Structure 1
Amino acid sequence: MPTISGKPAILVETRNGSTNSIPVKKVLDLWDLDDEWWRIVPIHRRYFKLLIDTGRVMTIFKDQSSGEWFRQEY
C-alpha cells in the first residue's frame, strides 16, 4: 500500500478480480494494538481510521508481524 510518512496515501481494494485505487483524504485517527502476548504469535497491529476520497470512513490495519494490510469489517 502506498504510504506517506508511514500513513496510507492510497487505498487499493481488490474485489471480484478488479482493483480500485482510492485516494485517502485524511487520516482521522491511528492507534497501535499489542495483545495476546502469551500466544506463539502475539498480535501487533497499527490501525488507521481513514476518510477516503468518496467521503466514506473506514478502518484498516497493518499487521506489524507480517507487513500485510487488512480492512477492519464491523
Structure 2
Amino acid sequence: MRASPDDGRPLTVDGEAVEGVVETWLLEDRWWTDRPMRRRMWEVVTARGRAVVVHRDLVDGRWWRSR
C-alpha cells in the first residue's frame, strides 16, 4: 500500500491504483485500556472498479485491508 504524503489517503491497494475515495472516517475504541485502537478508515475504488476498505493503524502506522 502506498499513501499520499500530503493527506495520507491510499494511492495504491494490492498494486492497483486508487481511482477515488468514497469515504473516510476515524475509528477510536478501547481508549480506556492500555491498548487503545485508533484507525483511519478509507473506502476506496481501484482503477479496475474494485471496492476496498483499508485502514491505517494510527498507533503503529501499519496499513491493513479489511475487504
Which range, TM-score by smaller chain?
A: 0.7 to 0.9
- TM score, norm. by length of structure 1: 0.80
For structure 1, the residue ranges without an aligned partner over 5 or more in a row are 14-20
- TM score, norm. by length of structure 2: 0.87
- Structure-1 separation of matches of 2:41 and 2:64: 9
- Structure-1 separation of matches of 2:46 and 2:27: 23
Aligned-partner residue type, residue 47 of structure 2:
D
Q: CA deviation at 1:41?
A: 1.1
For structure 2, the residue ranges without an aligned partner over 5 or more in a row are none
Aligned residue pair count: 65
1:10-29 to 2 correspondence within 5 Å?
Answer: 10-11=12-13, 13=14, 21-29=15-23
Q: Cα RMSD (Å) of the superposition?
A: 1.1
Q: CA deviation at 1:2?
A: 2.0
Aligned-partner residue type, residue 10 of structure 2:
P
Higher percent of residues as strand? 1
Moved over 4 A (4+): none
Deviations 1:15-74 (A, max 9, x none): xxxxxx10000011000011111221100000000001110111000000010011114x
The equivalent residue for 1:32 is 26
